[in-house]
Structure formats: structure tokens, C-alpha cells
Amino acid sequence: MKHLFLLLLLFVSSTSFAQQFYRIKTDFSIKQKNADNTTSLTIGTAYYDKLAKKLIYKISFPEKETWVFKDTLLYVFKNGVFFTKIKSILLPEFSIFHLALNNKLSDYGLKDSQFKIDKVEKEKSMVITTYKPSPKIAKTLGNVLVSTVDTKLNGVIFYTVKGEIASKIFYKEYKSFSGFAFPTKVTQFTYGKGESLQQTTYKNIVIDQMTEDDVYNYTIKGF
């Protein structure tokens, strides 16, 4: 009985430290500077429930809209009424919210993808891991470099199949919530026909909110 009690105690302790988070809500602002020097600002609140797998953006500026990302589609609603749907390159399962909630942000989710670790390097406090695409996707995607500092995601660099830098993303100013760490500043550079810059700031972060179920699982009627 004594040994059984010790085993039970160890089990309870291990499960308590492996707390699972499933929801995140955060206010955000996105500043965009395009290659042609045009700029834009988007402000709103994001909701994500990893069980529903719908990413909801309630936009308050420049105009009130609701964006619902589901699978490979973006549904746009105005005043609660469906407006349009378009193909989306942003998949909820690969968003910063899904990766963070599933404790996969540090490797950008690449360990469970069609990328394999090619090499690992260390520069002072930074660990840099190079991921190489599998032969199945190597014709369309290049290497990805992921850097971490103190086990937290610091940056990601995407390369083209020709070895040119396609995009850089940097993650800064982490905030912790009972073991859950989330970057509040994300800066992305995209290269192609010039350089574009996107700066995203997150604040008022709420983890595992028990209310607003109708928003987290936004109903897409007719689809």
C-alpha cells in the first residue's frame, strides 16, 4: 500500500505540472508597411479554442468586421451577416495561438511536420536549429531556421528552394501565465518584390476563459 501511495503521488504530481491549456483571448494591433510604402493599421481581439479549431478575429478598426478562419477558408461577417469567403493561407492549426496552447511554439511545430532536423548550432545563449524539408515537399519549400533563447522561440527564418530568404519572424517580450508563455511582440519581414514589414502587438491576454463560448465556436451558418 505504501508503494502504491507513492506511485499515485508521483502520477498526480506529474499530471499537475503538465497542465493543458485550451483557450486564448487577446487584444491585438497589426501595423503593416508594404513594399510600395503604403501602410495600414488593424485593431481588434483574437479568440482561439484548440478544440473548435476556429480562429476568430473581431476587428474594431478600420471597420467593424468578424473574420473566421476555419480549415483553408476565411469567412468575413459584417454586423453579424455573412459577407464573403476567400481562400486563406493562414491555417488555425499553424497559428501562434495553436502552437502556444499545444506547447509547440519553441520548435514552431516543425518536429511534428514533414521537416526534419538537419543540424543544431549554439551561439552564446541562442540555440539555432536548421530544419530540412522532406523530399516530398522539397520542390516547393526550402530550409527553415528556428532560434530559441532559454527554450523560448526567438526567431524563424524561411528560405526558398533556391536558398534565398523569403521571410523572417521575431518573437519578443514574453509574458507567463501559470506556466504558459506567450510573446507579446511579433515582427515579420517578408521579401520578394521589395521588403514588407508587419508588427503585431498582443495585450490583455486571457487564458482558458470560461465564457464567450459563442465567439470561440462562432457559427458559420450555411457552410
In a domain, 11, yes or no: no
What pLDDT, on a 0 to 100 scale, did the predictor assign at position 17? 37
Q: What is the CATH number of the domain that holds 123?
A: 2.50.20.10
- C-beta separation of 70 from 85 below 8 A: no
Residue 15 lies in a domain: no
Give domain status of residue 4, yes or no.
Answer: no
Look at residue 35 and tell me if it is in a domain: yes
Domain enclosing residue 73, as ranges: 20-216
> What's the structural domain count of the chain?
1
The grid coordinates listed for 210 are 470560461
d(CA 77, CA 89): 19
For residue 94, is it within any domain?
A: yes
For the cut 60, the answer to whether the pLDDT of residue 150 exceeds it is yes
Convert the pLDDT of each residue in 186-220 to its tens digit: 999 999 889 999 999 999 999 999 999 999 999 98
Residue 55: the pLDDT is 97
